[in-house]
Structure 1
Amino acid sequence: MGGPGSVEFKNLISWPESENLGIKYYSGTASYQNTFIIKDEIEGAKVFLDLGELYNVAEIVLNGHNLGTCWLRPFQKEISEYVKQGRNKIEIKVTNLWPNRLIGDQFLPEAERYTQTNISKYTRQDTLRPSGLLGPVRLMIIPDRDEF
């Protein structure tokens, strides 16, 4: 829905804060990908992924395993079974709602709009909704009880 394709973010931001209009008014799913390294032994520990703040839902894929969808606060998922010592690859697919695209389309000529709907609820003056992965994204490692 008008997205720019591949973009690298230096920092996590809400999509409407972007100068790129394809991101600012984007509606759909965006994939965040990264790798992280766990240096310490984690066998027996409980490991949780905390996504922090996000809008609106996120699907998590860790080391090739789909861990399902987070759609309620807190956006956390236990990942103990799939995280490993060493290099880990994570993908977080975040999907927002469509008001931002409907608002953005109000700035385009009708023939160039990405959406066609009978809903005329949104105007150019409406406030854009926060969207995307804002974080902070962090791991929470709870050691095995025997280590206390």
Structure 2
Amino acid sequence: SAKYFSGTGVYSTSLTTPKLSAGETACLRFEAVHEIARVTFAGKPVATTWAAPYEACLHGPLPESGVLEVAVTNLWHNRRVGDAVDPATKQTKSNITLPSPDEPLLPSGLKGGVEWRIYRGQP
């Protein structure tokens, strides 16, 4: 079940870049990332972010548009809780004791909005 997923999920969308003046840098700011995100744009690596502010800055001449991909990897915790809830469908093996089936799940993936931030020079 997706509820107990642990691993990497990829978000993908077509994106139009902002028009920049000389000396400006465009950054995508993510409201929240759980736990680490690898950002690519137009097939090129942009940034890896895991701490606030969650930003990925695009440098150099930008294409007018391209595909934005954000690969977000979460923690193992949610999968381990899922294994505790239904041991018959257990997907992990470890010498670590399973958490309680009542253990709260941790947030995972991208949460909240994404916006462009334009900076003069380097952020």
Same fold (TM > 0.5) = yes
Alpha-carbon distance in 2 for matches of 1:113, 1:82:
49
Asked if the contact 2:83/2:98 (under 8 Å) is kept, the reply is no
Pair 1:125-2:106 in alignment: no
TM-score of the aligned structures, taking structure 2 as reference length? 0.86
Instruction: Give, in angstroms, the shift of residue 37 of structure 1.
Output: 1.7
Residue 68 of structure 1 is matched in structure 2 by 47
Cα distance per residue 1:57-112 (max 9 Å; x no partner): 0000111111231121111122133633x2221000000000100001112234x2
Instruction: Tell me the amino acid that sits aligned with residue 54 of structure 2.
Output: F
Instruction: Give, in angstroms, the shift of residue 143 of structure 1.
Output: 5.8
Asked if the contact 2:81/2:98 (under 8 Å) is kept, the reply is no
Structure showing the higher strand proportion among its residues: 2
Instruction: Tell me the amino acid that sits aligned with residue 72 of structure 1.
Output: A
Instruction: Tell me the amino acid that sits aligned with residue 116 of structure 1.
Output: K
Equivalent pairs: percent with the same residue? 28
Alpha-carbon distance in 2 for matches of 1:81, 1:64:
15
> Runs (4+) of structure 1 moved beyond 6 Å?
none
Pair 1:94-2:72 in alignment: yes
Instruction: Give, in angstroms, the shift of residue 122 of structure 1.
Output: 0.8
Aligned residues: 120
Residue 116 of structure 1 is matched in structure 2 by 93
Q: Which runs of 5+ in 2 are unaligned?
A: none
